[in-house]
Amino acid sequence: AISAGVDDLMGVADQDDWLWLAPEARHSVDGLPPIPLDVYGFGVLAYLLLTGKPPAETFVELEQRLSEAGALDPRAASPGMPDGVADVIEMATRAVESERPSTIDEVLELLRQERDDLRRGDRVEEPTPVADPVDAQTDDIVADRFLVTSRRGEGSSGVALAVQDADSEDPDRELVLKVARTESAGRRLSLEADVLRALDHRRVVRLIAGP
């Protein structure tokens, strides 16, 4: 802790703590507005929490990074960090205090917006209805009811689709939907359905619904 009224932070802080001080505070805090100092401190702390690493290993390295880039980019330590989150931390740690967000609340609001954007991006897109079920692919919707999980097979007369039926009592159960390519192929499927409808044997596929 540093007592109130101290003007020379560099003189009383340990050298290891210099890494966490805003550039303008490394000379004197006498007369400096406190909010930009707090915003920078918040940004440096966020850098540490999100990357697991300090902004630099040495004070000389920190000075070089701020001189060259004008801010601390957490992607240098964590390349996979989302760009939006990294940009907020960069803004908070700008070397020039007037270029930082005006308050910590503003920084927090920017981070919340990025969090919400990331959550929206993680949402699974709605399945796509298809005009012709013969062309249906995985994750397409057929007849506003059947979710295609895979294509099982196809021939000259039609295709077989593995689907889940949203209208059934067990919507997670996988079924096979046969789709005819032509009207004549559709009539053959109707005859096949009539035969299956009359059969009830454990070795024969069971007709769930049909023409």
HSE-up of residue 178 (Cα within 13 Å, Cβ side): 21
Which domains occur in the chain, in start order?
Answer: 9-120 (1.10.510.10), 128-198 (3.30.200.20)
Three-state secondary-structure class, residue 140: strand
Mean pLDDT of 111-117: 90
User: How far is the C-alpha of 158 from the C-alpha of 156, rounded, in Å?
Assistant: 6
User: How far is the C-alpha of 96 from the C-alpha of 39, rounded, in Å?
Assistant: 12
Banded pLDDT at 19 (limits 50, 70, 90): confident
Residue 72: which of 99, 57, 94, 103 has the closest Cα? 94
pLDDT value at 81 more than 60: yes
Eight-state DSSP code of residue 11: H
Structure tokens at 199: 């059969």
Q: Pick the residue with more confidence: 133 or 4?
A: 133
Mean pLDDT of 183-189: 79
Q: Pick the residue with more confidence: 18 or 87?
A: 87
User: How far is the C-alpha of 65 from the C-alpha of 52, rounded, in Å?
Assistant: 18
pLDDT for residue 123? 54
Structure tokens at 162: 């593995």
Taking only the tens place, the pLDDT of each residue in 33-48 is 889 999 999 999 999 9
State how far the alpha carbon of 132 is from the alpha carbons of 129, 143, 146, 181, 193, in Å.
9, 9, 13, 10, 21
Q: What is the pTM for the complete model shown? A: 0.53
Three-state secondary-structure class, residue 193: helix
pLDDT value at 71 more than 90: yes
Mean pLDDT of 88-115: 95
Name 153's bridge partners.
Answer: 160
State how far the alpha carbon of 53 is from the alpha carbons of 78, 114, 170, 188, 195, in Å.
9, 22, 49, 68, 69
- Spacing of C-alpha 149 from chain mean position: 23
Residue 69: which of 85, 50, 56 has the closest Cα? 56
User: How far is the C-alpha of 86 from the C-alpha of 57, rounded, in Å?
Assistant: 19
Q: Residue 128: which H helix or E strand, with range?
A: strand 128-129
pLDDT value at 11 more than 60: no
Banded pLDDT at 198 (limits 50, 70, 90): low
Where do the H-state alpha helices sit in 30-177? Answer: 34-51, 59-69, 83-92, 104-122
Taking only the tens place, the pLDDT of each residue in 92-102 is 999 999 999 99
pLDDT value at 179 more than 90: no
